[in-house]
Amino acid sequence: MIPLHITDEISRLRAVVLGTAQSNGPTPKLQDAYDPKSAEHIKAGTYPLEEDMIVEMESVAKVFEKYGVRVYRPEIIPNYNQIFARDIAFVIDDKFVIANILEDRSKEIDALEEVIQQIDPSKIIEFPEHAHIEGGDVMPWNDYIFVGTFKDKDYRKYITARTNMEGVEYLQELFPHKKVVSFSLRKSNFDPRANALHLDCCFQPLGKGKAIIHKEGFLIESEYQWLLEFFGKENCFHITKDEMYEMNSNIFSISPDVVISEKNFTRLNAWLRGEGFTVEEVPYAEIAKQEGLLRCSTMPLIRD
């Protein structure tokens, strides 16, 4: 059995699910895009190629190998996008939570059967149909769970709104001993520079008491201020709209002082090194074209 254990975003990683770009399928039709950034690249003829994304994901697998992390991969479904493992499920404490995601992506969880069979069935949780949630919006942080959401009544108008308040409330019921803090995210179906698809697209807690944040990703100023006070303004690295678009907040911690980051994030990576982090740089710019990056494509199962 896999002894699930996740209480934060930064403790030493021991086991993880890494998505796959194998048999990713052809470039989607514009009407089938799930987010504005993918749509932008479909229109421009610059949508990422499978062979390039495979190289990028294997570079992350090599970093995990270097640090002795056990890596699980999904079973390959022909011609199907299985890159973003974080969306479909997430672990909090010793519970494996199956997310309630877009119907078109429902096959992705079936490809994790090998992992699920190694989990105690009493630890597997499924959300009710009306409660929408995706792993990119959920961040366990010790006694807290930070959750990105969209509270407006026109929630259903936005394909980019992935976690509703029913999802937030159900999460609080599941983990009554934790404080679930929700943040309203800015959504746009059409402008990728004005769209925080998930919480990890505009915020990320790091080791050493640090965090990455993009102010404009938050719809409500007081919620952004709460995070700023929680981590301390001096500990927060603010990213610009363009850096948010390139997914600078969507890096991934292997331990409190080791992170995997995209090699083109020059300003961020210099700051991280200046703060004493070891930065493992990988190429991930092609995958970023689908409005997801390193955190989106990894689902931690065990941290110390």
Q: What is the DSSP letter of 257?
A: T
Question: CA 229: distance to chain centroid?
Answer: 23
* Structural domain includes residue 147: yes
* Structural domain includes residue 6: no
The predicted model gives 19-42 an average pLDDT of 82
pLDDT digits over 206-235, tens only?
999 999 999 999 999 999 999 999 999 999
Model pLDDT, residue 173: 97
- Decide if pLDDT at 94 tops 50: yes
Question: CA 136: distance to chain centroid?
Answer: 4
Model pLDDT, residue 100: 74
* Structural domain includes residue 1: no
- Decide if pLDDT at 5 tops 90: yes
* Structural domain includes residue 172: yes
Model pLDDT, residue 84: 92
Task: Please state which of the ranges 102-116, 170-184, 204-218, 277-291 shows the lowest mean pLDDT.
Answer: 102-116
Cα angle, residue 126 at apex, residues 13 and 189 outer, rounded to 5°: 85
Model pLDDT, residue 234: 98
Say how far apart CA 258 and CA 1 lie, in whole Å: 27
Say how far apart CA 291 and CA 293 lie, in whole Å: 7
Model pLDDT, residue 163: 87
Q: Which residue has the tokens 């490809």?
A: 111
* Structural domain includes residue 218: yes
* Structural domain includes residue 192: yes
Q: Write down the pTM of the prediction.
A: 0.93
The number of distinct structural domains making up the chain is: 1
Q: Of 127, 98, 128, 135, give the one whose Cα is nearest residue 113.
A: 98
Model pLDDT, residue 213: 98
Domain of 201, in residue numbers: 13-303
Cα 196 to Cα 14, 99, 168, 200, 288: the distances in Å are: 29, 19, 17, 8, 13
The predicted model gives 227-252 an average pLDDT of 96
Model pLDDT, residue 108: 87
Cα 253 to Cα 63, 66, 185, 286: the distances in Å are: 12, 14, 23, 21
- pLDDT more than 90, % of the chain: 72
Model pLDDT, residue 261: 98
Model pLDDT, residue 78: 93
Q: Please state, rounded to an integer, the average pLDDT across all residues of the chain.
A: 91
pLDDT digits over 34-92, tens only?
677 777 888 888 888 999 999 999 999 999 999 999 999 999 999 988 999 998 999 99
Cα angle, residue 288 at apex, residues 283 and 292 outer, rounded to 5°: 120
* Structural domain includes residue 35: yes
Say how far apart CA 286 and CA 56 lie, in whole Å: 8
**190 — pLDDT class (breaks 50, 70, 90):** low
User: The CATH number of the domain where 178 resides is what?
Assistant: 3.75.10.10
pLDDT digits over 143-165, tens only?
999 999 977 655 454 444 568 89
Model pLDDT, residue 247: 93
Model pLDDT, residue 160: 46
**Better-predicted residue by pLDDT, 159 or 239:** 239
* Structural domain includes residue 4: no
Say how far apart CA 141 and CA 8 lie, in whole Å: 4
Question: And the tokens for 148?
Answer: 């990105």
Say how far apart CA 177 and CA 154 lie, in whole Å: 31
**Better-predicted residue by pLDDT, 176 or 132:** 176
